[in-house]
Structure 1
């Protein structure tokens, strides 16, 4: 995690962010000034950003929207005030409506981003200036501190090429909050095939199996889905999950609910995101649990090991051309 500290200061009406990255200054600068790279971290997990405009010149505008796991949208706008490449830039930031106009009554901010080289590392300092104590408190109350920390925590994957970052690491599980877990796995193959392998029954039956010895005996896909597994020919081992699609953005993102068949317990929310670089796909699965106890109970079942067995098969399916 690159973030060192995030500090709201009601006396100076500021919020400061200090971070350090294991990358040269020019590389870090490019992640903040290239909209395609910004999209990979500008927004906390579960709220990825899409930049529809990015005029990186003094007086130019950037427009973006962050889309939540249930299709919610939060739009923002930057006006670039000052650019001193590659050391600093300054923007006027605000919430925007669907037409790109600033939303009245929402906090407006001035943000200054500064970058300092330190050998093979780069120090990042961000200062957000608020117009009033009320606007600072409103931003903090909306989760800006934790959201910023989680968003910046995604930069390690952006600063390295995908293969250097994830190849050979297997399936990784990160605890983000009491109710959120992030699963990542590099699949050596194109995103289109990884997407197909998650949505076509004949491909799902080849890899979505967990540990050896299990079979996917029911596989229904679509707006609603149902998966049922069985170990060998032993019907007493049969179990399954069902749910519905909440959001679908082929071939980039799919959000579904998940609930064990035959139980009355609450559902989880599974947010699958795929990013391709140099012929490899980073699969990220953000799981939202109803509470910490449910999260810990499911993780204790050996979920990560079972997912790695399945994802290893998935990689073989993708390598074979699906």
Structure 2
């Protein structure tokens, strides 16, 4: 793996993995993109499953991302790519996305990774605001999971 082509964020969430996973899968539209943007996420969380996301901006922007789930291990990891759309139709690849969850003493270490085919794609993702955007998404996931833990 060429780590020079990877961007990542990590966050320790004060909730157990099962709670974070439940929020990750059941409240995806609430955490998936930084507010004031909103998302409509449709993931078939199994290898070969469809990944479809539409993000809507506050000024009418619309960003559609279709892809394929490559791996889905409940409570552990989800891997997806935009290199293909439905029925394994190739499309211009931008990245492989990875969401990972691990237990750290009853809390959850969440890591979001974006692996790129080229340095140009990585630089484009950085310029799009990867660090701020994916960090905000991790923060929103953490807030929802910590609230769910408190309400349990």
- Structure 1 and Structure 2 fold alike (TM over 0.5): yes
Alignment check: 8 A CA contact 1:61 1:79 kept: yes
Give the stretch that moved more between structures: 149-158 or 139-148. Answer: 149-158
Q: How does 1:206-221 map to 2 (within 5 A)?
A: none
- 2:53 maps to 64
Structure 2 unaligned residues grouped into runs of 5+: none
In 2, Cα distance between the equivalents of 1:163 and 1:11?
37
- 2:113 maps to 127
In 2, Cα distance between the equivalents of 1:162 and 1:23?
6
In 1, Cα distance between the equivalents of 2:84 and 2:103?
32
- 1:29 maps to 21
Pick the aligned partner of 1:139 from 125, 135, 139. Answer: 125
Alignment check: 8 A CA contact 2:55 2:64 kept: yes
In the alignment, structure 1 residue 46 sits paired with structure 2 residue 32: no
Shift of 1:120: 2.1
- 1:20 maps to 12
Pick the aligned partner of 2:79 from 90, 100, 113. Answer: 90
In 2, Cα distance between the equivalents of 1:11 and 1:102?
24
Cα deviations by residue, 1:61-82 (Å, 9 ceiling, x for unpaired): 1211111111111111241111
In 1, Cα distance between the equivalents of 2:36 and 2:124?
21
Alignment check: 8 A CA contact 1:16 1:127 kept: yes
Are the structure 2 counterparts of residues 148 and 73 from structure 1 closer, same or farther at C-alpha, using a change threshold of 3 Å? same
Shift of 1:126: 2.5
TM-score (norm 2): 0.82
How many residues align? The count is 146
RMSD of equivalent CA atoms: 2.6
Kindly indicate whether structure 1 or structure 2 has the higher relative contact order, using CA contacts under 8 Å at least 6 residues apart.
Answer: 2
Alignment check: 8 A CA contact 1:76 1:94 kept: no
In 2, Cα distance between the equivalents of 1:146 and 1:95?
26
Structure 1 unaligned residues grouped into runs of 5+: 1-9, 165-322
TM-score (norm 1): 0.41
Alignment check: 8 A CA contact 1:21 1:121 kept: yes
In 1, Cα distance between the equivalents of 2:32 and 2:21?
14
In 2, Cα distance between the equivalents of 1:19 and 1:148?
11
In 2, Cα distance between the equivalents of 1:57 and 1:16?
23
Instruction: Report the 3-state secondary structure (helix = DSSP H, G, I; strand = E; otherwise coil) of the residue aligned with 1:57.
Output: coil
Are the structure 2 counterparts of residues 119 and 56 from structure 1 closer, same or farther at C-alpha, using a change threshold of 3 Å? same
More helix by share: 2
Shift of 1:11: 5.9
Instruction: Report the 3-state secondary structure (helix = DSSP H, G, I; strand = E; otherwise coil) of the residue aligned with 2:59.
Output: coil
In 2, Cα distance between the equivalents of 1:40 and 1:22?
18
Instruction: Report the 3-state secondary structure (helix = DSSP H, G, I; strand = E; otherwise coil) of the residue aligned with 2:60.
Output: coil
Instruction: Report the 3-state secondary structure (helix = DSSP H, G, I; strand = E; otherwise coil) of the residue aligned with 2:82.
Output: strand
- 2:103 maps to 117
Are the structure 2 counterparts of residues 95 and 32 from structure 1 closer, same or farther at C-alpha, using a change threshold of 3 Å? farther
